[in-house]
Amino acid sequence: MAGTLLENDIRRLRLAHAEMTQQQLADACQVTRQTIIALEAGRYAPSLELAFRIARAFGVGVEDVFRWKQS
C-alpha cells in the first residue's frame, strides 16, 4: 500500500494521555478502531474534520498531531 505524505504523532499522544487505547480514541472521534490503526501506520490520511476531532481529543492543535512529510 502506498501510504500518505502526512506523518503523525497519534501513537505518542495516545500513550502520553494515560495510555489511551486505540478504541478509546476511536470512540472519542466517532470512527472505528481500524481507522485509528490505519492512521497510526500512515496508510490513511484523515479528512479535515477527523484531523480536528483527533486533535481535540488530545487537547492540542492539528499541527501538533499531523505534519507534511518533506521530500
Amino acid in the structure at residue 40: E
User: In terms of CATH architecture, what is 6-58?
Assistant: Orthogonal Bundle (1.10)
Dist. CA 71–CA 2, nearest whole Å: 15
Residue 1 has pLDDT above 50, yes or no: no
What does the domain layout of the chain look like in residue ranges? 6-58
Give the predicted TM-score (pTM) of the model: 0.91
Dist. CA 1–CA 49, nearest whole Å: 24
Dist. CA 16–CA 1, nearest whole Å: 29
CA 37 to chain centroid, in Å, comes to 9
Per-residue pLDDT tens digits for 42-71: 999 999 999 999 999 999 999 999 999 876
